[in-house]
Amino acid sequence: MDKLFAVEPGLMAWTVVTFLLLVAILAKYAWRPLIEALDARDARVKADADSAQEARNAAEKIKAEMEKQLSGIDAKGKEMVAEAVREGEAVAARIRAEAQAQAQAAKERALADLEGEKRRLIRELRSEVASLSVMAAERLLRRSVDPGVEKTVMESFLKDMEKKQYPRGGAC
């Protein structure tokens, strides 16, 4: 076991020479390709990191634009809803105004119809009263009255009745 830890100068020299020869061969043929491979790998890692950062920045930019568009769409949607509400209120107001105008027109037509019916009934009543008056006068006098005289008497009678009954313009 002592031989294992003993120093032999010849073996040591050959070991050093072999090591230096190996280093020289590796330096000439393997060192440069290894360094170039490591440099290329380092460049790829940096390029990938830069690309990833650019992609991250682009994604954040797109996200910001999308959020801006969404807020714009939200605002536009609210504006459209408000416009629809305004239009609905305008249509409702127009419909109410039309309904009121139609109701007023119907009321005015009904009042005009009532007024016309009132005048017709008054004329019929006057005619009936005149006929009854003439019949009563005929019976009293027991004779027939001439139609011209009858008309004159009737008109005079009606004028007298109007003056007594309707002093303010003939309204019932």
Report the 10 Å Cβ neighbour count for 134.
19
pLDDT band at 143 (very low <50, low <70, confident <90, very high): low
Q: How far apart are CA 157 and CA 104, in angstroms?
A: 40
Check whether 163 has a pLDDT greater than 60. Answer: yes
In a domain, 84, yes or no: yes
Average pLDDT over residues 136-164: 72
Q: What is the domain extent for residue 83? A: 39-165
pLDDT digits (tens, 9 = 90+) for 83-99: 999 999 999 999 999 99
In a domain, 70, yes or no: yes
In a domain, 55, yes or no: yes
One-letter identity of residue 107 = K
In a domain, 91, yes or no: yes
In a domain, 149, yes or no: yes
In a domain, 8, yes or no: no
Check whether 169 has a pLDDT greater than 70. Answer: no
pLDDT band at 139 (very low <50, low <70, confident <90, very high): low
> Which CA distances in Å does 47 have to 60, 62, 102?
20, 22, 80
Average pLDDT over residues 105-125: 92
In a domain, 17, yes or no: no
In a domain, 117, yes or no: yes
> Which CA distances in Å does 57 have to 23, 52, 159?
46, 9, 105
pLDDT digits (tens, 9 = 90+) for 47-77: 999 999 999 999 999 999 999 888 888 888 8
Average pLDDT, the chain: 85
Average pLDDT over residues 155-161: 78
Task: Give me the number of domains the chain comprises.
Answer: 1
Residue with tokens 């008054």: 122
Q: How many helices (H) and strands (E) would you count in the chain? A: 4, 0
Extract the tokens encoding 97.
């105004």
Check whether 135 has a pLDDT greater than 90. Answer: no
- What's the pLDDT score for residue 145? 59
